[in-house]
Structure 1
Amino acid sequence: MGAAPQAPRTRVTARARDLRFDAGSLSLNLVATAGRRPVGPLERMGDAERLAAWCGGVGLTPAPGYDPDALLRSLHALRDAAYDIASSLLDGRRPSPASVNLVNELAAPEPPAPRLELTPDSVRPAPGSALLPEDALLSVVARDLIDLVSDASRRERLTRCASEVCRMLYLNPPSGRPRQWCSMRRCGNNAKAAAHRRRKAATDEGRRAPESGST
């Protein structure tokens, strides 16, 4: 067997550990809670505080009394399955049957229907209608992944960040120029800065070469 691929050496900064909410879909935002896949995954949602921050960022509210550790384990398992399935679409391979079975199992429960209620002056979401039991929350995320796989237009927009360090999966916008990087402010700027350093190093080396050859 060949050696496992090695991730480029780079510092793990606080920014690298930031949660990402710009992948273009709920299920891909979950996948993005583990950075730098497939080599050396970086955990971004490893405790109850990060779990609450992620749920708030994607607009999912667990029902009171949920067990953060149990929900984290379930989301991590769903995250691995979602990554396996989504990346298989880009790599032209067959995902693991276990991943497909898990997504189908978690998608089976029917999420509660949202409800409205009248107020004296207008209308508003009914209190508690957005609270999701654990099985319903997992179902919402799993169904989003199934919708992504089922929608040809969304599948065609699925891509992977060109940064060898990042490799985040995301959806390109439906119109406009496809993005090479997950974020111009992040990986795009890093790539441009690295290219500038390489050009400068090559220029400096070219200037030194004639000097070293002189007598």
Structure 2
Amino acid sequence: MIVNMQCSITLKNLDLDDKEARRKIEDALPDFRFNVFAPPVVPLRGFPRMIGSSEYGHASLRLGDTFAHLIMQYDENYQDDWNKCFDYAHKRIGELREALQSVEATFQFGGIVIQYVMDDFPEPVTTLSESVSKVSVGERKLTHLQIKFSFPYRENYYINVEMEPVQNEATSANALGITIDVNNRLAKQRSDAPRVVDWEDLVKIEEILSGIKSSTLHQLVEKGEFAI
């Protein structure tokens, strides 16, 4: 099941001291109710100037002069339906993109993260050690195992995957947690052909993630293969 999805964006040229800019953002995001905060006396990196949440609390948004962070939480009506989760995320991310474009904010970097929990594997440490990492500690019992890997994708993007045992908050049962992060930081790091990034990168990140299905993750856990 998908627990949540998050979209993080690094920005330039967003001036939240401008009342007109704040009004445009609020008008572009009518489902959100915002609180606005004055800037701190001492500048703090990552300090939010606007914090909002949707009517039923399924989406929350933090905005600062250099960032936007959107979190979409899924309840039992969505968690097991991959398509519904992605449709909701697509809607919210699209609204955010349009809101920021309306105030001429410049996109720098962006990433979307999925947090997924698999209840199919009640012994997640054993599953990971036998099928993914091939770790052995002899006759001793392996009590925790965390696996991380990253790779470039389509020349401009990174895909980062993290796997570790978690506890299902609803049932308290052991489960396997998988976090997938797709971002466009590789575009700026390429020394051979650095390029200007723009809002279209965020659209492409969504497209990459839409190619990942529940079956993709089962293949990863059962065979150690991440095919995308």
TM range (shorter): under 0.3
More helix by share: 1
Give 1 or 2 for the bigger CA radius of gyration. Answer: 1
More strand by share: 2
Give the TM-score normalised by the residue count of structure 2: 0.21
Give the TM-score normalised by the residue count of structure 1: 0.22
